[in-house]
Amino acid sequence: MGRRRGRERHDPVPARQPRRALLLGPMSVLPEQQRQGIGSALMREALSRVRDSGEAMVVLWGHPEFYPRFGFRRASDFGLLPDTPAAMVYPLQADLRAYAGLSLPH
C-alpha cells in the first residue's frame, strides 16, 4: 500500500426535514502533493457516492474559489444561513425551498 495522499469525510447530520444534509469536509491534501488533481478527484468521488443517497444536500465550509467548480453554490442562494461565502451547498434534490431559513451545521 502506498502512502495515503489525501482525505475527505462526510457525515450525516440532522436537518429539520425528513431528508438530511450531509456535511462534507474537512478535505486536505498533503502540501507537497497539492495542485496535482488529488483534491478534485476526492471531491468527484465523494459526490458520486452521495448523489443517489436520497438525502437533500451536501453542506461544505471552505474556499469559495475552489468548490463551485464541482457544483457547490453559496448557501444563501437557497435561502440557507448563514449568508457567508464559505458556507456552500451542493443540492441533491431539485427543490430546496423547504429548507429555507435553516442554519447549516458547522
Residue ranges binding ligand COA (CB under 6 A)? 25-29, 34-40, 62-63, 65-66
Find out whether 60 and 25 touch, Cβ atoms under 8 Å. yes
Instruction: Give the integer Cα–Cα distance in Å for 13 and 65.
Output: 25
Cis? peptide before 85, omega within 30° of 0: no
| 54 vs 68, beta carbon nearer ligand COA | 68
| 42 vs 96, beta carbon nearer ligand COA | 42
CB of 3 to ligand COA, least distance (A): 15
CB of 57 to ligand COA, least distance (A): 17
CB of 34 to ligand COA, least distance (A): 3
Q: Supply 3's cell numbers.
A: 502512502
**Measured at CB, which residue is nearest to ligand COA?**
39
CA nearest neighbour of 56 among 80, 25, 85, 28: 80
Question: What angle (nearest 5°) sits at the alpha carbon of residue 93, between those of residues 90 and 98?
Answer: 95
| 19 vs 71, beta carbon nearer ligand COA | 71
